[in-house]
Amino acid sequence: MADPATSWERVPLIVSFPDTAKFSETYGFAGNSGMINLEGQLLRPVGRPSKTVYVFMHPTSTLQLLPMPTALADQGLHVLCAASRYPKNDTALIMEKVAIDLGQWLRYARERLGYEKVVLVGWSGGGSLSLFYQAQAENPTVTHTPAGDEVNLVEAGLQPADGVIFIAAHLSRAETLTEWLDPSVIHELDPDNRDLSLDIYSPDCPAQPPYTIEFVERFRAAQIARNRRITTWCQDMLERLRKRRGPEQERAFVVHRTMCDVRWFDTSIDPNDRKPGWSYMGDPRTVNVGPVGLARFTTLRSWLSQWSYDLSNAKGPMNARLIKRTPVLQIENNADEAVPATHNPIIAEALATPDKEYLRIPGATHYYLGQPELLRVCLDRVTDWSRRHALLSE
């Protein structure tokens, strides 16, 4: 229905296409019908046609209620909020299949909705997805998931976006999770079995903020080592299941304590304008042990595809190096409580395209909550950049 306050309407959309995968992770009818059914919303200004659409997709979230898409619609822009086949549940998510889904949405936007220009907006976790997609659309190389299952992006016919906006976004799910893994966990099945010397949330930990360079280096190395231990276990377990040739093809498991970072309690580490002692989900000490957290519930294949530090195909810098001809606008929110301060500069350095532009907004948080003036700065740059690149016309 049209909203008279903003003069735009929400148009529900469904994109369906055949699923030829040998293994299905989706639930119920969606996993048995032989079709993939994607749901989305087109935020369409009333009485203001456009040749350009801004496409938002997050691997697992739905974005149609977030400030940025709705603010763009308020400005009279056409916005497509597209969901993957894993809406609000990343337990079994496969990044290569999400890229297939995004490709279907871009094709639908052009061929069914009639848009001539498609701008891919990578917000938050959608940032690394946008880089992964655009890299594979420009130069497809991936034919299998890290688990060895065929998901052929080379033959998927992915259409490149006309421009990419990387905004309030981190390196990737794999790299961000690794920087937030609690390295004190010694035994994955017993989260109370911990190395006190690395347990920074314990008052008895010998290391207290401000942390020494030596401790931070040891802490980071232990985080990577934990990610690699889980990856090795996943690979070994998948191989055991394959050798059994039985009905069990996959296994789910719990990853405990996944919100632990020295940056939250020592803001001298990778400094920016962020609030100390806080994460985008609240107090990180609570989130670390709570039921809701990155990779809390996952599967063998999903871990390898979206969370493995070494094996994921969707890591941001790796894909940024493959984007060589698409214009990219990158916006960093300098008080972002979800994106570490080091991530955007790394992406900026890695981007191979010569047509790249960078904006840092001091004081801006992840969602711009209570910051309409900073959201305005972001909106103005998006529209100005789009017009200068002939992606948006009056």
Domain spans in the chain, listed from the N-terminal domain onward: 2-171+312-388, 175-307
* DSSP label at residue 83: -
Furthest C-alpha separation in the chain: 64
3-state DSSP assignment of residue 367: coil
State the pLDDT at residue 394.
Answer: 61
- The pTM score is 0.95
Is the distance from CB of 270 to CB of 259 less than 8 angstroms? no
State the pLDDT at residue 283.
Answer: 96
Query: Within 10 Å of residue 354's Cβ, how many Cβ atoms?
Result: 8
Pairing type for strands 328-333 and 185-187 reads unpaired
Low-confidence ranges of the chain (pLDDT < 50): 1-5
State the pLDDT at residue 393.
Answer: 78
Q: pLDDT tens digit string along 155-209?
A: 999 999 999 999 999 999 999 999 999 999 999 999 999 999 999 999 999 999 9
State the pLDDT at residue 5.
Answer: 47
State the pLDDT at residue 32.
Answer: 65
State the pLDDT at residue 381.
Answer: 98
3-state DSSP assignment of residue 335: coil
Is the distance from CB of 361 to CB of 377 less than 8 angstroms? yes
DSSP, residue by residue, 312-346: -TT-HHHHHTT--SS-EEEEEETT-SSS-TTHHHH
First to last CA, the chain: 25
State the pLDDT at residue 33.
Answer: 76
State the pLDDT at residue 310.
Answer: 98
State the pLDDT at residue 31.
Answer: 59
Q: Using CA atoms, how far apart are residues 32 and 86, in angstroms rounded to an integer?
A: 15
Q: pLDDT tens digit string along 16-25?
A: 999 877 667 7
State the pLDDT at residue 23.
Answer: 67
Q: Which residues are paired to 57 by β-bridges?
A: 82
3-state DSSP assignment of residue 37: strand
Task: Tell me the residue ranges of DSSP E strands in 51-149.
Answer: 52-57, 78-82, 117-123
Q: How many residues does the chain have?
A: 394
Superfamily of domain 2-171+312-388: Alpha/Beta hydrolase fold, catalytic domain (3.40.50.1820)
Q: How far is CA 80 from CA 94, 163, 208, in A?
A: 22, 15, 46
